[in-house]
Chain A
Amino acid sequence: MAAAESSLASPMCNLAILDSLNKNSVGEMTDSWNAFCLATENLLGGGGELSLDPNFVSDVRNLCSRGLESLIVEHFLCSVEETFEKNGASRFWKHFGVYRDSAILDMEDPDQQSAMQDILHKALEEIISEKQYQEKCLLMLVHALEMCRGSKSEEQTYLKTERNYLFSKYQLTTASVLMASIPRQFPDVLRWYFKGRLEELSAMMARGSENDSELHEDDGMDLDCKTAEMDIDGTHHHKSTLGNSKLVRNIGVVVRDLRGLGLTSIAEDAYASAIFLLLKAKVHELAGDEFRFSVLESIKGWIQAVPLQFLHALLAYLGESKSYESPSSGLKSPLASHLSFTHHGTGIPSEGLVRWQLRLEYFAYETLQDLRIAKLFEIIVDYPDSSPAIEDLKLCLEYTGQHSKLVESFIAALKYRLLTAGASTNDILHQYVSTIKALRTIDPAGVFLEAVGEPIREYLRGRKDTIKCIVTMLTDGAGGNPSGPGSTGDSLLEELNRDEENQENSSLDDDANTDDKQAWINAQSWEPDPVEADPLKGGRYRRKVDILGMIVSIIGSKDQLVNEYRVMLAEKLLNKSDYDIDSEIRTLELLKIHFGESSMQKCEIMLNDLIDSKRTNTNIKATLKLQPQPVADVGEHELSLDNLNATIISSNFWPPIQDEALIIPGPVDRLLSDYAKRFNEIKTPRKLLWKKNLGTVKLELQFEDRTLQFSVTPLHASIISQFEDQTSWTSKNLAAAVGVPVDVLNRRIYFWINKGILAESIQESGDHKFTLVEALVESGKTGANTGSCEELLVGDEEGETSVASVEDQLRKEMTVYEKFITGMLTNFGSMALDRIHNTLKMFCIGDPPYDKSLQQLQGFLTGLVAEEKLELRDGMYFLKK
């Protein structure tokens, strides 16, 4: 016998015994051995029937007396292993052969589910009973060995440890046999099993809580009540129901059996992953694309209600049923300490359960956080309606600390969704402001905002209309984004101001921490800047996110913003014909608060000019009564000073005005002279200088059947008035008549052609000819029919402004450097913005010295790129070839 030989050679044998062997005793020994082997074989293969050869004990004793005890044990264990492999493991795994191709399984199908459940139960039952039988066999060997030993007490105790050793050896053997032959799909099968059971349980709990809420209809937060109940006094509502439920018991049996087989970690992995899977699905289901409600509490409630209940019941069951387990289950799972749920009835959650709760909550926080981060762009679009989602995200991030995930993901979304050629500058700005508003909840110190905002700012700096859009957004309530927050017609400035007032009312001034209480509050709320913080940018604790500051930082300096505002204000004021500047005054007050009074000085004078103009205008009209107008020439259309109003500006404080020559109709021109004379009389020695191309003319055109009203520029009015006496003009003659270049005339006259008042034809000479479409009614024959009026406002035309824009001004100032820049690029090939800026600073110190900001230079270069003079690639400027 190979086994015998190898064992004989082992050092465990007492070699001295070999010396005393004689032929007789060898024969006797061989007989006993053969009999023992046969008996073992019969015993193990007994097919469940425990039949022991009566001579077994004497054979064992015989062999033991010859010092072959270890050989016996060895052989017995080998036989057991062989039998377990054949009758236990291979049969067990065969049950799961149908799931070899796990892809074909549809675990949502209840029939398949229950079939699989049956198979698992049956297979476990079978293998457990086989194992229990073998353990009984093992116990028999132990008894036989015990009988060989006398009754010496020290040998008895020796036997006890030996017995434990034997059983744990057996346990290890079976476990390793199973593990060695485990089919690939088994963990999946288990996962499906637990997933199915948990879903069943979840549905059961949902039904349960429905019943509960039926019972206590008044308290809307039954989930919270229940968890509170458990936390406080431990008398958990569902514990008994769940603990006794057949479902949990079945699951418990499966887990217990798997543990008995040494498959503890596979079982735990399987139900843990099923729980996490279910939790993930639940988080997705509860959170979804709904941003208007907080879901964190209901998720936590669900964790308490379902997975923790399940674990609670499962651990309780396993704890109770320990005694039923095979007596040899001395093997402790690595998670055993987690699972030592023994305080059943005391209601104190075990350490294991608490750990599970922490794991599950962390997982839920992380899942929800990832979900929200992935949709952060949409959430911010919906802000402030979506603030509950932001609030949830804030709590999640506080728990996980994964703020950098947010920064990365959101920047990627911004670049993909927002910072594209298709998005309007206005949209980008509004999203920027919403981003600041939303993220300052999560990030009151503005540390991540700094990182998230930078790509937006960088992108906006490359756009020409950025400053204009910013100023409009800040100062114009009506023109803003209607979907934007607070779209009650408030400007952003108005809104910021209101926020600030609210903050001031609700909290003490940060800087005035002179009293101890405030100092203490500040000290308590101190938090170190997170790692992402740039130490140069942060640092001051309790730094408030300054929305306006973040907007100004797009432009670079507040001076540029103020300058742009001044240009826009000038344009607006010059087109006013009613002196109504209430909203401009309000805006100026707000701007003064934020940018300082001295920055707004010029704007203030501009507004004051309007107020003065109104007063002066009234005074001049008043002089009429004392000193009537001279009678106008006969035959001319008569106009009185009542038809003239004027805005009188202090031009030194206004941005440069586009002063273009224009010949206005004679009667109007005479009125202007009269007006100027009267001004000079009351304001001696001050004089008026008319800017005849500026202002607004409201006029009425009367036709046979209708009267049309227009509000147009003086040039348009001058053009159309020429047609009162002569219905057809060549562009050359008309241009001369109104005193503008032909190309300007041809461009501006389109207004009247578009309105269908004039028609254009091209003569053989190539000259354009304009003709009145419909005869204007002689004023004397005016009918009463003024029913249909058309009010058309000035500014219908694009690009016609009274004030030189900031870009135009800058352009004018920068053109001096254009040659220089071209020269540099010819020499160096390509240059980055910084380098061009520095080179200009270094070399252009003459007249005029280069004093522009980096942003201004960038704006100018962007213009040159648009004109296709330069090219911008990867941050480098090239000459366009």
Chain B
Amino acid sequence: CRAQENESQDSTWHAVASWTWDAQDETCGICRMAFDGCCPDCKLPGDDCPLIWGSCNHAFHLHCILKWVNSQTPQAHCPMCRREWQFKG
């Protein structure tokens, strides 16, 4: 068994994958950009422009929903389902 491991040491597999947020929808309901892309204010997708889910289970770009929430005083609602917006804990 050890010998087998030795044999394989020089063989390496460099694989390719794509990442996805695995949201139900393709695009953000606020900016209409792809979730796996980024919001209009960002240049880089992924960690730099994360998604956030509401308690209603609707997802948005974090930056998009923050802007939305800040503009909706005193109480913001989910742009999709009009329920009171709560960040999913």
Residues of chain A at the chain B interface (Cβ within 8 Å): 574, 576-577, 601, 604-605, 608, 612, 637-640, 643-654, 657, 668, 671-672, 675-676, 679, 683, 685-692, 694-700, 702, 709, 714, 717, 779-780, 782, 802
| CB of B40 within 8 Å of the partner chain | no
6 closest pairs, A vs B, by CB? A779-B7, A577-B14, A651-B18, A694-B16, A688-B17, A780-B3
- Known contacts A637-B4, A638-B1, A686-B22: A668-B13 contact under CB 8 Å: yes
Chain A proximity of B25: nearest CB distance (Å): 14
Residues of B near A612 (CB, < 8 A) are 46-47
Residues of A near B14 (CB, < 8 A) are 576-577, 644-647, 695-698
- Known contacts A638-B1, A638-B4: A649-B16 contact under CB 8 Å: yes
Residue of A605, A643, A672, A696 near B44 (CB, 8 A) is A605
Residues of A near B10 (CB, < 8 A) are 698-700, 709
Residues of A near B36 (CB, < 8 A) are 650-652
- Known contacts A604-B43, A652-B34, A687-B22: A643-B15 contact under CB 8 Å: no
Residues of B near A700 (CB, < 8 A) are 7, 10-11
Residues of A near B46 (CB, < 8 A) are 612, 650, 686
Once bound together, how far apart are the Cα atoms of A638 and B17, in whole Å? 22
Whether A782 contacts B18 by the Cβ 8 Å rule is no
Residues of chain B at the chain A interface (Cβ within 8 Å): 1, 3-22, 34, 36-37, 43-47, 51
- Given A687-B19, A779-B7, 17 more A-B residue pairs with CB atoms under 8 Å apart are A604-B43, A637-B7, A643-B12, A646-B17, A647-B14, A649-B18, A652-B34, A652-B45, A653-B45, A675-B15, A676-B17, A686-B19, A686-B21, A690-B16, A694-B15, A779-B3, A779-B6
Whether B4 contacts A685 by the Cβ 8 Å rule is no
- Known contacts A612-B46, A780-B3: A639-B8 contact under CB 8 Å: yes
Whether A574 contacts B16 by the Cβ 8 Å rule is yes
Chain A proximity of B44: nearest CB distance (Å): 6
Residues of A near B20 (CB, < 8 A) are 651, 686-687, 689
Chain A proximity of B60: nearest CB distance (Å): 14
Whether A671 contacts B18 by the Cβ 8 Å rule is no
Residue of B nearest to A717 (CB): B13
Chain A proximity of B43: nearest CB distance (Å): 7
- Known contacts A601-B43, A605-B45, A687-B20: A644-B12 contact under CB 8 Å: yes
Residue of A608, A643, A683 near B13 (CB, 8 A) is A643
Residues of B near A640 (CB, < 8 A) are 5
Whether A683 contacts B15 by the Cβ 8 Å rule is no
Residues of B near A608 (CB, < 8 A) are 44
- Known contacts A637-B4, A685-B21: A644-B15 contact under CB 8 Å: yes
Once bound together, how far apart are the Cα atoms of A640 and B13, in whole Å? 11
Whether B19 contacts A689 by the Cβ 8 Å rule is yes
Residues of B near A695 (CB, < 8 A) are 13-16
Residues of B near A646 (CB, < 8 A) are 14-17
- Known contacts A604-B43, A639-B8, A782-B3: A690-B37 contact under CB 8 Å: no
Can you list 23 pairs linking A and B with CB atoms under 8 Å apart?
A605-B45, A608-B44, A637-B7, A638-B1, A644-B12, A648-B19, A650-B19, A650-B36, A650-B45, A651-B20, A676-B17, A683-B19, A685-B51, A686-B22, A689-B20, A694-B15, A695-B13, A695-B14, A695-B15, A697-B11, A697-B14, A698-B14, A779-B4
Whether B12 contacts A698 by the Cβ 8 Å rule is yes
Residue of B nearest to A601 (CB): B43
Once bound together, how far apart are the Cα atoms of A697 and B11, in whole Å? 7
Residue of B nearest to A780 (CB): B3
Residues of A near B43 (CB, < 8 A) are 601, 604-605
Whether A637 contacts B8 by the Cβ 8 Å rule is yes
- Known contacts A652-B36, A686-B21: A638-B12 contact under CB 8 Å: no
Residues of A near B22 (CB, < 8 A) are 685-687
Once bound together, how far apart are the Cα atoms of A869 and B4, in whole Å? 56
Residues of A near B51 (CB, < 8 A) are 685
Residues of A near B44 (CB, < 8 A) are 605, 608
Once bound together, how far apart are the Cα atoms of A508 and B1, in whole Å? 73
Once bound together, how far apart are the Cα atoms of A576 and B45, in whole Å? 22
Residues of B near A782 (CB, < 8 A) are 3, 6-7
Chain A proximity of B40: nearest CB distance (Å): 12
Once bound together, how far apart are the Cα atoms of A692 and B16, in whole Å? 7
The residue in B11, B14, B20, B47 that gathers the most chain A C-beta atoms within 10 A of its C-beta is B14
- Known contacts A638-B1, A686-B22, A691-B16: A699-B11 contact under CB 8 Å: yes
Once bound together, how far apart are the Cα atoms of A738 and B5, in whole Å? 24
Residues of B near A639 (CB, < 8 A) are 8, 11, 13
Chain B proximity of A634: nearest CB distance (Å): 8
Residue of A647, A650, A698 near B16 (CB, 8 A) is A647
Once bound together, how far apart are the Cα atoms of A104 and B8, in whole Å? 90
Once bound together, how far apart are the Cα atoms of A695 and B16, in whole Å? 5
Once bound together, how far apart are the Cα atoms of A490 and B46, in whole Å? 34
Residues of A near B6 (CB, < 8 A) are 779, 782
Once bound together, how far apart are the Cα atoms of A675 and B17, in whole Å? 11
Chain B proximity of A775: nearest CB distance (Å): 15
Once bound together, how far apart are the Cα atoms of A702 and B7, in whole Å? 9
Once bound together, how far apart are the Cα atoms of A657 and B16, in whole Å? 11
Residue of B nearest to A574 (CB): B16
Once bound together, how far apart are the Cα atoms of A714 and B11, in whole Å? 12
Once bound together, how far apart are the Cα atoms of A41 and B78, in whole Å? 137
Residues of B near A687 (CB, < 8 A) are 19-22
Residues of A near B18 (CB, < 8 A) are 648-651, 654, 657, 688-689, 691
Residues of A near B37 (CB, < 8 A) are 650, 652-653
Whether A643 contacts B17 by the Cβ 8 Å rule is no
Chain A proximity of B18: nearest CB distance (Å): 4
Chain A proximity of B77: nearest CB distance (Å): 23
Whether B11 contacts A643 by the Cβ 8 Å rule is yes
Chain A proximity of B47: nearest CB distance (Å): 8
Once bound together, how far apart are the Cα atoms of A222 and B60, in whole Å? 85
Once bound together, how far apart are the Cα atoms of A782 and B8, in whole Å? 11
Chain A proximity of B1: nearest CB distance (Å): 7
Whether A645 contacts B15 by the Cβ 8 Å rule is yes
Once bound together, how far apart are the Cα atoms of A780 and B3, in whole Å? 5
Once bound together, how far apart are the Cα atoms of A648 and B14, in whole Å? 11
Residues of B near A686 (CB, < 8 A) are 19-22, 46
Residues of A near B34 (CB, < 8 A) are 652
Whether A648 contacts B17 by the Cβ 8 Å rule is yes
The residue in B5, B10, B16, B21 that gathers the most chain A C-beta atoms within 10 A of its C-beta is B16
Once bound together, how far apart are the Cα atoms of A638 and B9, in whole Å? 10
Chain A proximity of B67: nearest CB distance (Å): 21
Residue of B nearest to A777 (CB): B7
Residues of A near B4 (CB, < 8 A) are 637-638, 779-780
- Known contacts A605-B45, A649-B18: A714-B7 contact under CB 8 Å: no
Residues of A near B21 (CB, < 8 A) are 685-687
Once bound together, how far apart are the Cα atoms of A700 and B37, in whole Å? 39
